[in-house]
Chains A and B, each alone.
Chain A
Amino acid sequence: MNIIVLVKQVPDTSEVKINRETNTLIRDGVPSIINPYDRYAIEEALRLREKHGGKVTAVTMGPPQAVEALKEAVSLGVDDVVLLSDRAFAGADTWATSYALSQGIRKIGDFDLVIAGKQAIDGDTAQVGPETADMLGIPFVAYIRKIEQVEGKKMVAERLMDEGYDVVETSLPALITVVKEINEPRVPSLKGKMKAKSLKVAAWSAADIGADENKIGLRGSPTQVVRIFPPSPRGQREILSGSVEEQVAHLAKKLKAQSLI
């Protein structure tokens, strides 16, 4: 079973803070990490390989330093990596990102399953998975929390929904996105780390993947970010005092005034 995993390098948003005086993001010292959801994707791919054999390839589109994410994937046990990197990809929104990824995946060719994270923590869009599936012409199933069975050209898995879950059957090849519940990712092995250290990756350019220049990067992106600003700070906060009964009584008055109770 040949599996492709989509991996994105993101800033660790839990380390990002806002400078309240200047209302700007403080990025100093914010590390770049593999998107946490993509770790579950990598882990699931490795487990499927251990069970069914085959090969796992990690693919990323990003600036040259995104190679670090691929190295980490190798240290975890991924067999092969592909880096899509070209100035012409810069400024891509989810549509143009998905187009580049789908072209890269076509070039890799032989695969049974593509696994992506549910969403990337920098943009939180959750769109690249389904858009890439559409461009590859393969079925898509979101929010997988458990793969029950893979047999021949068929897979049965549990899809997390707002009210519970669905058991879904899909034909293969398919693209799925995974949620945190699916597994507990492993840590890199020593052997993996050694392999990652000596890894040389030659990036694929837009021309290498036969990309239409009108469909990549900023030019190919339907959406444009026109403004970035800090969220309005929350209103006054009030720490209550007095006995528990007094505090609760005070609260009750406030909530009643807002017709909340």
Chain B
Amino acid sequence: MSVKVKPDICTGCESCVSVCPFGAIEMKDGKAFITDACTLCGACVEACEFKAIEKDIEDAGPAKDLSAYKGVWVFAEQHKGEIASVSLELLGEGRKLADKRGSKLSAVFIGSGIKDKAKDLIAYGADTVYVADDPVLKDFNDDSYAAVLTMLATQHKPEIILAGATAIGRSFFPKVASTLYAGLTADCTVLDIDSATGNLHQTRPAFGGNIMATIVTPNHRPQMATVRHKVMKPALRNVARKGEIIDVKFTQAGAVRTKVLKTVDELTETVNICEADIIVAGGRGLGSQKNFLLLEELAKVLGGAVAATRGAVDEGWIPYSHQVGQTGKTVCPKLYIAAGISGAIQHVAGMQSSETIIAINKDPDAPIFNVATYGIVGDVTEVLTAMIKKFREIRG
């Protein structure tokens, strides 16, 4: 496959140069020239109004026999036996994909002492649950988690495997994809399936959220993807659903190369910010640790979680596990209240897909207002105090 410029048609207008996300088009003798940096995304093909750029698709690598691959799988993540909410969202989405394709939905459940929870996964839409329940699987370990999933996928050949874009999912899924020579797309926000070919159209943000890219895996199976929290609707629970639970014998292959010596919880509250529907976030504009407590109070009133900018984390007001942004977590709650946050791109990258954003800042030109649904220009302590009072009244 390649992207080519037809020099006789190219007018040298340079519109392709500015649309190329990878800076891979240069002008040579007044004509566009595609350099080695090209990733064949085709943005220039669409942009050229003279149809002077073409993408040809022959020569697309060795195809496997794809017809042997069937069914949609979801890696059902659990923490201390609790099924992660993102996994329920994936079961909801997986069910839709499987139905469109007329295939089955299965869940892969890995841990220790989790067997009796497997029927929950059936209630949430799985037809089959593969359970690997073993004391050696108590802690998350890349080698053993990957070994279980790789073994099952090799045996049963699913067409699609999904996981949450969590610390765990994003750590061990690549190892599975590497071994299976499968395509893996990280951190998707939209999935769609071509019901005829089974090709999964995976859409995800790139370049710090500045652009969206749609990715497909036409010649390899399984198609693997990790999916962000909160972007898909969770499955509804129906205890009457029937399904099959299959025990998976796990034998640790080879020597144990890594092991968890200790696990430390650092969240100051029980809600993981990635899973919260409402987030109250604070930045350096709060001015002090004491003011930061206002956030916690507001979060309590709203039943939400507290998050922060790197600025606030650097001040030592809250641990890093609450940081949102490029070097922190990506969140997508229904409501995000940004208090005393300037709206630096690195922060915005982690929260801009929130459904409703309220920004409070004393500076009317603060960039955070560009992504806000509602903006309040004012002093953060004053506004937070008024919010706590008002919302408490309403909630009773």
Over the window 180-198 of chain A, the binary record of Cβ atoms lying under 8 Å from chain B Cβ atoms (1 yes, 0 no) is: 1100000000000000000
Q: Is A47 on the interface with B (CB-CB < 8 A)?
A: no
Given A166-B262, A228-B21, the answer on whether A93 and B373 have CB atoms closer than 8 Å is no
Q: Is B19 on the interface with A (CB-CB < 8 A)?
A: yes
Is B20 a contact partner of A161 (Cβ separation < 8 A)?
no
Query: Could you tell me the distance in whole angstroms from the C-beta of B209 to the nearest C-beta in chain A?
Result: 7
Is A163 a contact partner of B265 (Cβ separation < 8 A)?
yes
Over the window 152-172 of chain A, the binary record of Cβ atoms lying under 8 Å from chain B Cβ atoms (1 yes, 0 no) is: 000010001111111111110
Q: Is A114 on the interface with B (CB-CB < 8 A)?
A: no
Is B177 a contact partner of A95 (Cβ separation < 8 A)?
yes
Chain B, residue nearest A16 (CB): B210
Query: Could you tell me the distance in whole angstroms from the C-beta of A126 to the nearest C-beta in chain B?
Result: 5
Over the window 133-148 of chain A, the binary record of Cβ atoms lying under 8 Å from chain B Cβ atoms (1 yes, 0 no) is: 1110001111100000
Q: CB within 8 A of B185: which of A63, A218, A223?
A: A223
Over the window 256-298 of chain B, the binary record of Cβ atoms lying under 8 Å from chain A Cβ atoms (1 yes, 0 no) is: 0111111111110000101000100000000000000000000
Q: Is B243 on the interface with A (CB-CB < 8 A)?
A: no
Q: Is A18 on the interface with B (CB-CB < 8 A)?
A: yes
Q: Is B11 on the interface with A (CB-CB < 8 A)?
A: no
Q: CB within 8 A of B42: which of A141, A226, A236, A248?
A: A226
Q: How far is the CA of A25 from the CA of B179 in the complex (A)?
A: 35
Q: How far is the CA of A244 from the CA of B377 in the complex (A)?
A: 9
Q: Is B249 on the interface with A (CB-CB < 8 A)?
A: no
With a cutoff of 8 Å between Cβ atoms, the chain A residues found around residue B383 in the complex are 244, 247-248
With a cutoff of 8 Å between Cβ atoms, the chain A residues found around residue B391 in the complex are 252, 261
Identify whether the interface residues of A are mostly helix, strand, loop, or mixed.
mixed
Given A122-B206, A237-B375, A239-B369, the answer on whether A170 and B321 have CB atoms closer than 8 Å is no
In the complex, number of A-B residue pairs with CB atoms less than 8 Å apart:
308
Is A164 a contact partner of B139 (Cβ separation < 8 A)?
no
Q: How far is the CA of A133 from the CA of B177 in the complex (A)?
A: 12
Q: Is A49 on the interface with B (CB-CB < 8 A)?
A: no
Query: Could you tell me the distance in whole angstroms from the C-beta of B129 to the nearest C-beta in chain A?
Result: 23
Q: CB within 8 A of B374: which of A95, A174, A238?
A: A238
Q: Is A59 on the interface with B (CB-CB < 8 A)?
A: no
Over the window 229-261 of chain A, the binary record of Cβ atoms lying under 8 Å from chain B Cβ atoms (1 yes, 0 no) is: 111001111111000110111011011101011
Given A225-B213, A234-B371, the answer on whether A24 and B19 have CB atoms closer than 8 Å is yes
Is B36 a contact partner of A169 (Cβ separation < 8 A)?
no
Identify whether the interface residues of B are mostly helix, strand, loop, or mixed.
mixed
Is A244 a contact partner of B382 (Cβ separation < 8 A)?
yes
Q: Is A28 on the interface with B (CB-CB < 8 A)?
A: yes
Chain B, residue nearest A227 (CB): B214
Is B211 a contact partner of A229 (Cβ separation < 8 A)?
yes
Q: Is B356 on the interface with A (CB-CB < 8 A)?
A: yes
Q: CB within 8 A of A95: which of B21, B183, B212?
A: B183
Is A221 a contact partner of B61 (Cβ separation < 8 A)?
yes
With a cutoff of 8 Å between Cβ atoms, the chain A residues found around residue B369 in the complex are 237, 239
Q: How far is the CA of A4 from the CA of B274 in the complex (A)?
A: 33
B326-371: which residues lie under 8 A (CB-CB) from chain A?
326-327, 329, 334-335, 344-346, 352, 356-358, 364, 369-371
Q: CB within 8 A of A179: which of B37, B143, B327, B344?
A: B327
With a cutoff of 8 Å between Cβ atoms, the chain A residues found around residue B373 in the complex are 234-238
Is A164 a contact partner of B265 (Cβ separation < 8 A)?
yes
Is A171 a contact partner of B258 (Cβ separation < 8 A)?
yes
Known: A27-B20, A93-B183. 8 other contacts (CB 8 A): A122-B206, A134-B146, A140-B175, A167-B262, A180-B327, A224-B1, A226-B216, A245-B386
Nearest 5 pairs between A and B by C-beta? A222-B183, A164-B266, A13-B208, A130-B174, A134-B178
